[in-house]
Copies of this chain bind each other. A is one copy, B any other.
Amino acid sequence: MRILFWAALVLLLTSCGDNDNNQAQGDNAASQQVYKWKLVTSWPKNYPGLGTAPENFAKKVEAMSNGRLKIKVFGAGQLVPALQVFDAVSQGTAQIGHSGAYYWTGKNKATAFFTSIPFGLNAQEMNAWLHYGGGLELWRELYAPFNLVPFAGGSTGVQMAGWFNREINSMADIKGLKMRIPGLGGDVITRAGGESVNIPGGELYTAMQTGVIDATEWVGPYNDLAFGFHQVAKYYYYPGWHEPGPTLEFTVNKPALESLPADLQAIIETAARAVNQDMLDEYTARNNTALEELVNVHGVEVRKLPDEVIQGLRKLSAEAISELTKDNEFAQRVAQSIAEFKRQATAYHGISEEAFYKARQQ
């Protein structure tokens, strides 16, 4: 009886679709199908900021689709390990992922450019490059062979240089420094004579406390305060030269995306864009108040990396990026696109955003 009922309904709907202007266009019967998707992430479930973004995304999609696209969010390890998000979505184990492109340099070194590169673009510039500077097209080209469609999925804003139990007064102080700093930033620290190690977030507090490492970068005041790093580190250094505007990513399995009706595809795209901004809004507001608490309540000593160190790190960063793109034509195209955008953005933001920050304080 159910089958007969639906067959009749489909007939009714399709027979009238073109005849009534007060009804929405499209295949109404098909559009009532409910899709149940899995979203896997590289963060603990509901981890502040990083983990709340995919939850917000799922809520927005469900509300906008009137429940036709339900997305269940999995924390790292709940369905797949943190660093198997890319593969899981590529293979269709989950339809969607929330992670960071620079975790996938093992697939192609060019992925590093789509999160953040040392001395690269900040959040506002990354968004502009991605959406009006050709960045997203390059990203999609890079991910296409993996059956993945990437979308920008939030930013933390400029990060902090990190927590140190050693004073950094010159490049010489980086020699022998044991620091948790992954990716290109870690490469730079190694080039400076330090030792970059990768330790999971949950073990960092103890590693700092016991002196297993001398320093660690994490995110910024909001996430760092929650980890209690101020209890086990002497100095909090800025600025986050290594990750000036780290952009997260939503990756969607391409066949799954294409199997959706056009309205649900548009809902996914727009929800991602909204969450992309929302995460930056959240980090900006909460970093403000967390920094104040770190300084005023916990007496944290905030220090600027000396100019000489900034210059030294910048020189080594250029070498690291150059090495990354060697023998990788696609990475060279991306590096060139970002370099050109950065050249223009540095000039324009020098007389707009940066000049305004100065004007407000001077």
Interface residues of A (CB under 8 A from B): 2, 5, 8-9, 12-13, 16, 20-26, 28, 31-34, 60, 63-68, 119, 122-125, 127-133, 157-160, 220-221, 238-241, 244, 261-263, 266-267, 270-271, 273-274, 276-278, 280-282, 284-289, 291-292, 302, 304-305, 307, 310-311, 314, 341, 344-362
Contacts and interface: CB of A to CB of B under 8 A. Distances in A.
B351 A302 contact: yes
A314 B359 CA distance: 9
Given A25-B67, A128-B280, 16 more contacts: A9-B12, A21-B34, A23-B34, A64-B263, A119-B360, A124-B124, A129-B285, A131-B281, A131-B282, A133-B285, A239-B356, A239-B358, A239-B359, A270-B270, A270-B274, A274-B274
A244 B341 CA distance: 22
Residue from A133, A158, A359, A361 whose CB has the most chain B CB atoms within 10 Å: A359
A346 B358 CA distance: 10
Contacts of A266: 60, 63-64
A70 to B, nearest CB: 10
A131 B20 CA distance: 40
A353 B271 CA distance: 26
Contact of A344 (B157, B282, B292): B292
B362 A307 contact: yes
Given A239-B359, A278-B273, A124 B157 contact: yes
A355 B304 contact: yes
30 contacts: A9-B9, A23-B33, A23-B34, A24-B32, A24-B34, A24-B67, A26-B66, A26-B67, A60-B266, A119-B359, A127-B277, A128-B282, A131-B278, A157-B352, A158-B352, A158-B356, A238-B355, A239-B355, A267-B267, A270-B271, A284-B345, A289-B344, A291-B344, A291-B351, A307-B362, A310-B362, A314-B359, A346-B360, A350-B357, A350-B361
B356 A122 contact: yes
Contacts of A307: 362
Contacts of A341: 285, 288
